[in-house]
Structure 1
Amino acid sequence: MFLDKIKDFWAKKNVKKRLSNVKHNSSNNYIKKVGLLIDESYFLERDQLINELIQNGIQNQNIELLVFRDKIKKNEVFDYSVFSPKDMTWNGTFDKEQITTFTNANFDLLISYYDIEKAPLILVTLNSKADFKVGFSSVDMRLNQFMIDTNAEKYKVFVSELFKYLKILNKL
């Protein structure tokens, strides 16, 4: 437990250092491929969120999901990619291949669906090579190019606001 606190401290220190020189890519591409990063520690409506994205024109096969949980039981089996703080190293990198594959994917849109800052989630967002990153306004403003001011429980509001502004920005 004490070692986890120290590990989290070093990861946050690494994040702060890397956030000081963040450069966002600007792209005029249309949104086709979407990466979805969810904190499932408290937000459990994952399927409903995905259905809202599908109803707004994103195809199911173009949505890639990565889910964060604070604790994963030993015998739990998932049909989607899941990670926890244990997958993060002391210097703020990840050992798990699923996470590195997700961060190296060239998404047109990355939706960082968490409104509480946690070092592993911030690191995945920061390392992502997505063209356009969207998240909540309660998270550090340097991570995302576009922020929506709502909370995670209101996923319908989030998705409707997201698509309203994506149309304005001519991304759809």
Structure 2
Amino acid sequence: MILKGFKEKSNKKYLNKLLALRKVNIDASKVNSLGVILNVDEFDDYDAFRDLAELIKIRPNKLKIIAFSSFNKDAALTWDDCFNPKDFGWSGSIKNIELKSFINTKFDALISYYEQEVLELKMITAESQAKIKIGILQSDERLNDLIIKTDLKEFSLFKTEVFKYLTILNKISNNE
């Protein structure tokens, strides 16, 4: 039990280091790929993100969704890429190959759709190589570039706001 506390403290220190070193660099490129980090303990509607990706003109093969569950073992069976606290080691090390691949993918946009203060979710958001990070209001505002203050259950409002702001920032392709 004591080791778990030390592990959490080392991961928090690693997260703070990542956030302190982060440089926001939003360029003029369009959003052509989308990554989504989802806490299935809070929200598990995969199709909602497919609809959002379709709205902002992301091809299905350019959408990648990973799910996190802190305790629901059944959720891991229904998702292709589901991870849990056991996939993390000390000082931010990651044991899951799919999770490492997700982090290293240079998405044009990343959506962090969770409200709970879960250290592992924050670490994935902070470590992601995405150009622009979009999320719901968190206690640590350094995680995301675009923060949309909505309730988790109001996904249609979140979707509308994401579309609106990406349009304002000229990030949506005019193809099709």
Same fold (TM over 0.5): yes
| Equivalent runs, 1:62-81 vs 2, <5 Å | 62-73=62-73, 77-81=77-81
2:101 pairs with 1:101: yes
Match of 2:164 in 1: 164
Partner of 1:61: 61
Report the AA paired with residue 160 of structure 1.
T
The number of equivalent residue pairs is 172
Q: Partner amino acid for 1:9?
A: K
2:125 corresponds in structure 1 to 125
Q: Confirm or deny: 8 A CA contact 1:49 1:155 kept in the other structure.
A: no
Deviates more, 1:128-137 or 1:43-52: 43-52
**1:37-64 CA-partner distances (Å, limit 9, x unpaired):** 1011121222223223324432222111
The change in CA–CA distance for 1:119 and 1:97 in structure 2 (over 3 A counts) is same
Residue ranges of structure 2 left out of the alignment (5+ in a row): none
Aligned equivalents of 2:123 and 2:64: distance in 1?
18
Structure having the larger proportion of residues in helix: 2
- For each residue in 1:122-166, what CA deviation from the matched residue of structure 2 results, as whole angstroms up to 9, or x when unmatched? 111111111111111224211111110112111111111000010
Residue 36 of structure 1 corresponds to 36
TM-score (norm 1): 0.89
The normalised TM-score by structure 2 is 0.87
Q: How far off its partner does 1:68 sit?
A: 0.6
Amino acid at match of 1:20: A
Inter-partner Cα distance in structure 2 for 1:146 and 1:102: 20
How much does 1:2 deviate? 5.4
Kept in 2, the 8 Å contact 1:36–1:66? The answer is yes
What amino acid does structure 1 have at the position aligned with 2:107? F
The alpha-carbon deviation at position 5 of structure 1 amounts to: 4.1
Amino acid at match of 1:149: K
d(CA) in 1 for partners of 2:75 and 2:23? 40
* Offset, 1:92: 1.4
The CA RMSD measured in Å over matched residues stands at 2.1
- Give the structure 1 partner of residue 19 of structure 2: 19
Percent of residue pairs identical: 31
The corresponding residue for 1:140 is: 140
Looking at structure 2, the residues matched to 54 and 4 of structure 1 have their Cα atoms a distance apart, in angstroms, of 41
- What does residue 155 of structure 2 align with? 155
Whether the 8 Å contact between 2:34 and 2:53 is mirrored in structure 1 is no
Q: Distance in 1 between matches of 2:83 and 2:123?
A: 12
- Shift of residue 73, structure 1, vs aligned partner: 2.8
- Say which is worse superposed, 155-164 or 70-79, in terms of deviation: 70-79
For residues 34 and 114 of structure 2, the distance between their equivalents in structure 1, rounded to whole angstroms, comes to 16
CA contact (8 A) 2:34 2:63 kept: yes
The answer for the alignment partner of 1:50 in structure 2 is 50
From the superposition, tell whether residues 99 and 75 of structure 1 become closer, same or farther in structure 2 (CA, over 3 Å).
closer
